[in-house]
Amino acid sequence: MPVTQAPPVSFDDTAVAFASKSDGELRKMYALFAAMNNNSLVKTGGGLMKAALKWHLPGTKFLIKKSIFEQFCGGESIQECLPVIQELGRYHIGTILDYSVEGEGDDKSFDATTTELLATIDLAHRSQNIPFSVFKVTGVGDAAILEKIQQGTPLSPAEQASFERTKKRINAICARAHQYGVRVFVDAEESWFQETIDQLTYEMMQRYNRESAIVWNTYQLYRHDRLDALKKAHADAVRGGYFLGGKLVRGAYMEKEGRVAAQHGRTTPINPSKQATDDLYNETLRYCIEHIDRISICAGTHNEASSLLLTELMQERGLQPNDQRVWFAQLYGMSDNLSYNLAHAGYNTAKYVPYGPVEAVMPYLLRRADENTAIAGQSSREFLLIQKEMNRRKA
Q: What is the pLDDT of residues 201-217, one digit of tens each?
A: 999 999 999 999 999 99
| Helix, strand or coil, per DSSP, at residue 68 | helix
Q: Are strands 215-220 and 349-355 parallel, antiparallel or unpaired?
A: unpaired
d(C-alpha 38, C-alpha 258), whole Å: 24
Q: Say whether pLDDT at 383 is over 90.
A: no
Predicted pLDDT at 44 = 54
**Pairing mode, strands 295-300 and 215-220:** unpaired
The pLDDT of residue 372 is 52
**Cα(72)–Cα(303) distance, integer angstroms:** 18
- Fold of the 75-362 domain: TIM Barrel (3.20.20)
* 29 C-beta neighbours (distance < 10 Å), count: 21
Q: Range with the lowest mean pLDDT among 93-107, 231-245, 275-289, 344-358?
A: 93-107
Residue 62: pLDDT band by 50, 70, 90 thresholds? confident
Distance CA 136, CA 352 (A): 14
What Cα–Cα distance (Å) separates residue 343 from each residue in 237, 291, 328? 30, 24, 9
Q: For residue 40, which of 389, 380, 373, 285 has the smallest C-alpha distance?
A: 373
- Count CB-CB contacts under 10 A for residue 225: 13
Cβ distance 134 to 185 under 8 Å? yes
The Cα 291–Cα 235 span in angstroms is: 11
In sequence order, the 6+-apart residues with CB closer than 8 A to the CB of 61 are 53, 358, 359
Beta strands, E only, 130-257: 132-135, 183-186, 215-220, 244-249
Assign 381 a pLDDT band (cuts: 50, 70, 90). confident
pLDDT bracket for residue 101 (50, 70, 90): confident
* CA 290 from centre of chain: 24
Compute and round to an integer the Cα radius of gyration of the chain: 21
Q: Are 121 and 173 in contact (CB under 8 A)?
A: yes
Higher pLDDT, 265 or 162: 162
Residue 246 pLDDT: 98
Question: To the nearest whole number, what is the mean pLDDT of the chain?
Answer: 90
Give the Cα separation of 368 and 315 in Å (integer).
33
Domain boundaries in the chain?
Answer: 75-362
With contact defined as beta carbons under 8 Å apart, do 74 and 356 qualify? no
Distance CA 167, CA 173 (A): 10
Evaluate whether 284 touches 230 at the Cβ level (below 8 Å). yes
Q: Give residue 376's pLDDT band: very low, low, confident or very high (50, 70, 90).
A: very low
Q: Give tens-digit pLDDT for 137-154.
A: 999 999 999 999 999 999
Which residues are bridge partners to 326 per DSSP? 297
- Region of poorest pLDDT, from 57-71, 242-256, 321-335: 57-71
Spatial separation of the C-alpha atoms in residues 298 and 360, rounded to whole Å: 28
Sign of the CA dihedral with 343 first, then 88, 211, and 206 last? positive
CA–CA distance, 175 with 185 (Å, rounded to integer):
13
78 within 8 A of 137, measured Cβ to Cβ: no
How far is it, in rounded angstroms, from Cα 76 to Cα 74?
A: 7
More confident residue, 146 or 41: 146
- Does position 18 have pLDDT exceeding 60, yes or no? yes
pLDDT category, 379, cuts 50, 70, 90?
low
Per cent of the chain over pLDDT 90 is 73
Name the pTM for this structure.
0.92
Spatial distance between the Cα atoms of 230 and 285, rounded to a whole number of angstroms? 11
User: In this structure, are strands 326-331 and 295-300 parallel, antiparallel, or unpaired?
Assistant: parallel
In contact, 133 and 178? CB cutoff 8 Å: no
Name the DSSP class of 375.
S
| Mean pLDDT of the 357-373 span | 71
* Residue 82 · residue 72 · CB < 8 Å: no
Instruction: Spell out a b/e string for 177-195, using b for 16 or more CB atoms within 10 Å of the CB, else e.
Output: bbeeebbbbbbbbbbbbbe
For residue 287, give every residue at least 6 positions away whose Cβ sits within 8 Å of its Cβ, in sequence order, or none.
227, 230, 231
